[in-house]
Amino acid sequence: MTATAALTAQNTQGVFAVHHVPSKFVRKQIDLCFDDVGVDVVKTGMLAVAETIKELAEALTSRNFDGKLVVDPVMVATTGAKLLPVEAVTELVKHLIPLTTVLTPNVPEASLLLTTAGFEQPAIKNVTDLETIGRNLLTLGPQWVLVKGGHSPLRQDYSVAEKPEERQIMVDVLVGADGQVFRIESGFQDSKNTHGTGCTLASAIAANLSIGMDVLGSVKAACRYVQAALKAAPGLGQGNGPLGHFHSLSIRPFAPGNFIEYVLERPDVAPIWERYIKHPFVLGLGDGTLPLSSFKSYLVQDYLYLIQFARANALASYKSKNLADISAAAAIVLHIDRETQLHLDYCKGFGLTKEEMEQSEEHVACTAYSRYVLDVGQSSDYVALQMALAPCLLGYGAIAKHLHADPKSKRDGSPYWTWIQNYVADDYVQAVKTGSELLERHAMLQSPSRINELVEVFKHATKRNLVEMSYGGGGYGGRNGGGYGGGRDGGYSNGHGSHGGGYGGGGGGGYGGGGCGYGGGGGGGFGGGGDRMSNLGAGLQKQDWDINALPKFEKHFYKEHPDVTNRSQAEVDKFRREHSMAVQGSDVPKPVETFDEAGFPRYVMDEVKAQGFPAPTAIQSQGWPMALSGRDVVGIAETGSGKTLTYCLPAIVHINAQPLLAPGDGPIVLILAPTRELAVQIQAEISKFGKSSRIRNTCVYGGVPKGPQIRDLSRGVEVCIATPGRLIDMLESGKTNLRRVTYLVLDEADRMLDMGFEPQIRKIIGQIRPDRQTLMWSATWPKEVRNMAADFLQDFIQVNIGSLDLSANHRITQIVEVVSESEKRDRMIRHMEKVMDGKDSKNKILIFVGTKRVADEITRFLRQDGWPALSIHGDKQQNERDWVLDQFKTGKSPIMVATDVASRGIGALSIARICLNSCDSLVSESGVLDVRNITHVLNYDYPNNSEDYIHRIGRTGRAGAKGTAITFFTTENSKQARDLLGVLQEAKQEIDPRLAEMARYGGGGGGGRYGGYRGRGGRHHGGGGRGANDLPMGGNRRW
């Protein structure tokens, strides 16, 4: 409660007038406050006149007030205005300060109080002078004095700043009895928005004292509150503006009990909800015009969904942390059980048996929604799961209520009226009420940002319900047939087993025919049987392609720029020589020298120029005209040379020239990559440059939940970036198809072959129309890659940047040391001491080893020796791998120990088996470590072949930077000596004489792309090293 002592006419520029409230009237206000609510803490502000101070002091003493008194001696405003006459200051010192618990003067007010009490004018040179002021004020009678230091900013050494640029810190000094002194320090904030700072601080102290905090805790918390309020100041007015007092408040955008209403009426939700509850499928139920076949298909899917709905509510029960919520979730599960029995009885009337429905395949839309719900439940909390379930629970009730009340709904003779009645029955209405109350109760406990997150979950789930309704109705998307198409004659829309058709076809237009969408009839899955891991891709149906029957598509986009046309062949040859560029094939386009010459549309060029690139890289100069020409292309260039953008930009142009995706269509562009991390990197580039065209993409890889990837694929994406194992999985389970793919990219083809993916790549390409455009990119050009190009590409043209022989990036200094196994650790430490010299070192070092066991051993050894090393390999959990990679990227842990898949020496078939769900996430140097600013690579163990050596050291020296690669070479590696010597000679590097001797006498070449078994650690998984990253660093910190 408040007793007002004075009114002021003021704004941010100053106090212009003061009206004193009569002191007796002020006393009356004080007494009324005490007599009604009661008072624990009194806080004073501007008391205005001596009489009012006397009245307040008398009121407190006459009542024997035993609470706390906080006095803010408001005497001088920030603007310099005098707010308390001299006689009033005397009364304050004489009558009120002796009763005070905490006195809070600023420096000018403290000086005035002390001089009034007979002390000398204090001089302030450092923080100890503020402490002296506090001790002197303590002699006037208060229990505690807080001297506010805002008027005396200090240097870092606690001396008073004399120049504006010297102001570094502020210190508020709290002085108490028995010599207690506490400094509350904060950084200096140069702000003019300080209006009401003192009043706010005193009020905050009083508020903290009122809830039982001690004086020190109250003062410190209040100071921190005001510091944050200064930062949050809104900047109002032309003078000293007010603080941002609301920085720690969170305000819910709805009244208690109105959360659901708020959600459904939000502008971003209402249109989605309206489409959901008034979907054409729903309206067809109401007026009886829905085709019976569509409804029967829906009934089957609804039965399959009810099982998942029950699972989700059981998960909600498990996620609950109190008995009331557990009981509520259990009650819903019991209701679902009763609803399922009703559903089965109802389905009998349509000739559908339980056995028939249980044997039916779940539609992709049903899978997408139900697994989205379960995924939310697994990855998030109880409330998010309830929000994911809410569209179904609330929606069915709202739909039935709307149809039941609609006079246009057909009651007599409608096969659907009973369904409507089921969902307005008392038991379902009660279930909706129970679920709604649960949501309302938990919504009151959420922050505003969390409310927005929950709304996003609700929106996404509602959209999935919309898709399910569209597909579940067997292609019912409009009153005149057509709809979303699919089935046997629907062109692309259904993918597997589609015979002819085209983009038109069917009653309702669109891409599909007016058949039965995902729902009506059809075959029986993908066949198969046997050991799936030993027969990867066996479930894919063989495609019989009739080129003449396939829809036509455009892939020729290149128009030569006049400047390029006017260049003579001699000029072209000179440009190619200068950029170490060689081309093969017939009619290879001339290279471009500027972005404008590439001829990309404006929407692409705007994105490119926004990135600030000065000119195309060598591979881009030649690769862009080749890719835009519609020809099949092979590009060979070192890692970090810009290959990704070379195929991404033409892909965007290609997509924008094709017809839009229809529901059920797969991607237009498919990019295959060997590893999860490379796939994610490619996705980042596609997202960056494709945003202006609203191109949708998804990244499909193993080692993570499938739910989000399935949702993306079911929604429709123009670009799919995938690792072969997970893509095979999606294709076999019918989550996507490749019949719309007309632009295929095989990135780092040599790495995919290393990892044993060739059989899967062949099966994937068998699902893609043969007249597609195919682009193959690689850092090396071994026989296996050449064979694959001959099989998959037609009349291809090729560009090679650098030598076709094994060659390394010439910006990398290669240091190869011939050592024994026992010397490796000492040599490694010697190099580390040079590389990581000084705590301010910005270097990052990536250490490659041959096995997971060695990775953990080396990591433990380094950490015990004081080096901040972390390891990453395939036995680590995904979240740990992500954390390690983040620590390395950000430089928090500048040393990372890694394995690479190919160096394990497992045969191609074994790799393929492991990789279906694992290798997509394992560490491979080709993708996981595309980290900027890796300055050094150390090959602790030499890889099985020299192609892998090229890839490993290619992690440094990227994007024009220089790098260093250190390699330990032992007699075990002697078969690789000749290849390695050739790489070093080509790059003009220093050569260890012992390596040259090995190459001369050690025999043959490198052991092949699927080289020999290394032994050390070999096939077994992990060697018990799960805790290497958790090992504390040794006391002798080396960095």
CA separation for the pair 772, 736 (Å, rounded): 18
Active site residue 410: no
Nearest to 862 by CA among 841, 893, 890, 838: 893
Q: How far is CA 986 from CA 800, 814, 817, 983, in A?
A: 16, 12, 18, 5
* Alpha helices, DSSP H, located in 406-549: 417-422, 426-443, 448-472
Active site residue 196: yes
Catalytic residue among 194, 723, 859, 967: 194
Handedness of CA 346, 347, 348, 354 (dihedral sign): negative
Residues with Cβ within 8 Å of 950's Cβ and at least 6 positions away in sequence, in order, are 638, 779, 780, 806, 807, 808, 983
Residue written as token pair 């960056």: 688
Tokens read off for 667:
């991607």
CA separation for the pair 143, 141 (Å, rounded): 7
Categorise residue 167: left if φ over 0, alpha if ψ from -120 to 50, beta otherwise.
beta
CA angle 861, 866, 867 (to 5 degrees): 75
Q: What are the backbone angles phi and psi of residue 247, rounded to the nearest 5°? A: -65, -25
Active site residue 148: yes
Tokens read off for 313:
């509510």
Catalytic residue among 134, 149, 198, 519: 198
Pairing of strands 633-636, 797-801: parallel
Tokens read off for 341:
């029995």
CB 75 within 8 Å of CB 111: no
CA separation for the pair 927, 630 (Å, rounded): 27
SS3 145: strand
Q: Count other C-beta atoms under 10 Å from residue 796's C-beta.
A: 18
Catalytic residue among 43, 68, 148, 824: 148
Handedness of CA 225, 230, 235, 241 (dihedral sign): positive
CA separation for the pair 926, 47 (Å, rounded): 74
Categorise residue 64: left if φ over 0, alpha if ψ from -120 to 50, beta otherwise.
left
Catalytic residue among 90, 116, 199, 296: 199
Q: How far is CA 795 from CA 534, 631, 634, 656, 676, in A?
A: 34, 8, 11, 25, 31
Q: How far is CA 442 from CA 256, 263, 321, 338, 386, in A?
A: 11, 14, 12, 27, 10
Pairing of strands 144-147, 68-71: unpaired
Categorise residue 352: left if φ over 0, alpha if ψ from -120 to 50, beta otherwise.
beta
CA separation for the pair 364, 715 (Å, rounded): 10
Nearest to 1011 by CA among 918, 938, 948: 948
CA separation for the pair 495, 740 (Å, rounded): 8
CB 173 within 8 Å of CB 129: no
* Alpha helices, DSSP H, located in 444-482: 448-472
Which H or E run contains 7? Answer: strand 6-11
First to last CA, the chain: 59
Active site residue 198: yes
With residues binned 3-state (H G I as helix, E B as strand, rest as coil), the percentages for the chain, rounded to 5, are 45, 10, 45
Concatenating the DSSP letter of every residue in 540-567 gives SPPP---GGGSPP---------HHHHTS
Catalytic residue among 176, 196, 286, 506: 196
Tokens read off for 496:
């597997």
What are the catalytic residues? 148, 194, 196-199
